[in-house]
Amino acid sequence: MSLDPKKLVDAIKMFQKKIEKQGRVTNARDEEHLERLKKLYKDMGGKKKFESVNEEKNNSENLNIEFGKVVQDFYNKANQIADKINKLKGDKTDGKIVMKNVKKQVTPLIKLMHSWNKGQQKNPNLTTERMDKRQAGETLKQLGGNRFIMMTGAKNFGVGPKGMGFKIGRNSKKINYIRIDLDRGKDLYNMEFIRMARKKGELSPTLKVVKKIKGVYADQLRDLFTKYTGMYTSL
Q: Using H for helix, E for strand and C for coil, what is the string for 110-151? A: HHHHHHHHHHHHHCCCCCCCCCCHHHHHHHHHHHCHHHHHHH
Chain centroid, CA 178 distance in Å? 11
pLDDT at res. 128? 41
Longest dimension (CA), the chain: 85
pLDDT tens profile 1-35: 456 777 878 888 787 777 666 554 556 677 777 78
For the ranges 72-76, 119-123, 204-208, which has the lowest average pLDDT?
119-123
On average, the pLDDT of the chain sits at 80
For the ranges 109-123, 142-156, 213-227, which has the lowest average pLDDT?
109-123
Alpha-carbon distance 62 to 113, whole Å? 11
Alpha-carbon distance 167 to 153, whole Å? 8
The upper half-sphere exposure of residue 166, i.e. CA atoms within 13 Å in the direction of its Cβ, equals 20
Question: C-alpha angle 206/120/75, rounded to 5°?
Answer: 35
Q: Residues with Cβ < 8 Å from 70, sequence gap 6 or more?
A: none
Three-state SS at 216:
strand
Higher pLDDT, 73 or 214: 214
pLDDT tens profile 111-134: 787 777 666 655 544 444 457 778
Alpha-carbon distance values, 95 to 22, 80, 106 (Å): 50, 10, 16
User: How many Å is the Cα radius of gyration of the chain?
Assistant: 22
Q: Give me the mean pLDDT over the 149-169 stretch.
A: 89
pLDDT tens profile 163-198: 899 999 999 999 999 999 988 677 889 999 999 887
